[in-house]
Structure 1
Amino acid sequence: MAKPLEIQTVEQFSNLLKSSRIVVADFYANWCGPCKQIAPIYEQLARSLSRPNVATFVKINTEAEGCKALAAEYNVTALPTFIIYRDGSVVEKIKGANPQQLKTVVEKLSNDIQSAGEGGSGSGSNGGLAWRGADLPRGYTDISDSVDVRGLELLNADTDFSVRTLFNKDKPTALDKGKTSSTKKDWVESDTDEQLMLFTPFNSSVKLHTLQITSLPPADEEDDEEVPMRPKTIRLYTNRPHNLGFDEAEDIQPTQEIEIGENDWNSNGTATLSLRFVRFQNITTLVVFVVDGDGDGEKVRIDRIRLIGESGEKREMGKLEKIGDEPGE
């Protein structure tokens, strides 16, 4: 077990993200009182959970010459800020000296750290991190947990499938070798035609940066059933009080329309769709309208959806601030 490693340069940190499966970073400053208060707790967690090349805990002084660029790159605007990385991508960000929140989030990694040390992938059902089909853009996190799954609504979906499956944290069974698609229907398909209309409410206001859609239709027909298509044209509508009807959506200007090309799908069957970030601020609901599929079929299939951005409080740009101190202190 080891105490936190003090990062000296951007290059050192970049190399660490490549060599250690999980990295937990404490962004701090010497003048920050709350940073000093939580430091012993962070060190205790580091000593108990560090594993060579598996889980590394580091401290990054945001005022050190070699580290100022890291604070800017990962949008650190308040101190302390704790960021958790897996395989080089941000998966969690905690602002403020909240010992209980830090303990809860970091200790939640314990099973995942053990799994990573044994060569496992750490699935959501094991208490580890959620599966993702593609890397996250730097500085942003997977905020799919901000979705209020109780309010999800999916129009024109085949009744054999559950809408909550779209935000399942586990790896899609279609990617598990040796398992057939009939083992578990952990995806959704459209019903009477290729269109789908998904209404997604959030527990709090969010900022959306990227939409990741995973679609894994079988390569060949199974049981003489028609093979579904991947989505092609997606229209997004924000802050609607309820789901849209298909005719209604045709008469409303979308916040953004995206056409997914064949080359946009990676080896995991995931397309990473960049959003016009300025249009997706303070979002409370998102409607995803799948207009058509990428072929001549009559059904569309979606296995997973991941929402990338920021959740919680509004980001205040400018000078770094201490969280927990009163103004004027």
Structure 2
Amino acid sequence: MSGHKHTCQGDHDHDDTPEMGLQYSLYNKIDTGNLECLNERVEGSGKDVFKAWEERLNFEKYVESDVDEELLFNIPFTGNVKLKGLIIIGGEMDLHPSKMKLYKNRPHMTFDDTSIAPDQEFDLHPDNNGTLEYATKVVKFSSVTHLTLHFPKNFGGETTKIYYIGLRGEFTEGHRHGVTICTYEARPNVSDHKTDLMENISHEIQ
């Protein structure tokens, strides 16, 4: 693999530059209160792997699977995301995930749902430094409000460990319809009042 050239799997190496911190800032746009990680050994630990680029090599916080090697993340965003790439820093040796499946806009998926064909999948390579990016099909992932990541297997370990999941892309605020609805409902009320007023004036004149 050479430089930044994309392979058929869509992965390529990245240099460690200050700009990377800005590019991998989508973790700030995750609705962490509703993020779910299925089969995590320690409750709530799945949220810890979504962190700043500068913290990616902080191995004190991580998520490890529980009863087997599978992990599944349901990741809701606070708006619309155009997802362009992911970086996965996994555990040592055989604890590193070896495959990743991506599903878009399917909230609250479970392991039973993963028989559905993913929107994209990758064969992962061991990466302990966060230098390998997996590029998504941007057209397919251009309007993502919810992202599911399924890690079905690793390199032979009984459990899977992940230290960091980096998400690169663009973010736009979600549309708000409440104001539009209120304005629409208010207009006929104003007209009704005007009509009633005109009728009353006409009646008094007569």
Does 2:74 match 1:199?
yes
Structure-2 separation of matches of 1:154 and 1:192: 14
Q: Return the match for 1:236 from 94, 102, 125.
A: 102
Does 2:45 match 1:162?
yes
Does 2:89 match 1:214?
yes
Partner of 2:158: 298
Q: After TM superposition, give the deviation of residue 160 of structure 1 in Å.
A: 6.0
Structure-1 separation of matches of 2:20 and 2:41: 34
Structure-2 separation of matches of 1:253 and 1:279: 14
Residues 162 and 261 of structure 1, relative CA distance in 2, 3 Å threshold: closer
Does 2:11 match 1:149?
no
* Cα deviations by residue, 1:262-301 (Å, 9 ceiling, x for unpaired): 4xx2x5155311111111011000000001002x221000
Structure-2 separation of matches of 1:270 and 1:247: 32
Structure-2 separation of matches of 1:261 and 1:205: 29
In structure 1, the residue corresponding to 2:153 is in which secondary structure? strand
Structure-1 separation of matches of 2:124 and 2:141: 19
One-letter code of the match for 2:144?
I
Partner of 1:279: 140
Residues 278 and 152 of structure 1, relative CA distance in 2, 3 Å threshold: same
Q: Return the match for 2:120 from 256, 276, 294.
A: 256
Does 2:37 match 1:173?
no
In structure 1, the residue corresponding to 2:95 is in which secondary structure? coil
* Cα deviations by residue, 1:148-198 (Å, 9 ceiling, x for unpaired): 111110001102661221113334433xxxxxxxxx4x0000011110010
RMSD over aligned CA atoms reads 2.3
* Cα deviations by residue, 1:97-138 (Å, 9 ceiling, x for unpaired): xxxxxxxxxxxxxxxxxxxxxxxxxxxxxxxxxxxxxxxxxx
Q: Which has the larger radius of gyration?
A: 2
- TM-score normalized with structure 1 length: 0.44
Paired residues of 1:198 and 1:243 also in contact (CA < 8 A):
no
Q: Could you list the runs of 4 or more consecutive aligned residues of structure 1 that deviate by over 4 angstroms after TM superposition?
A: none
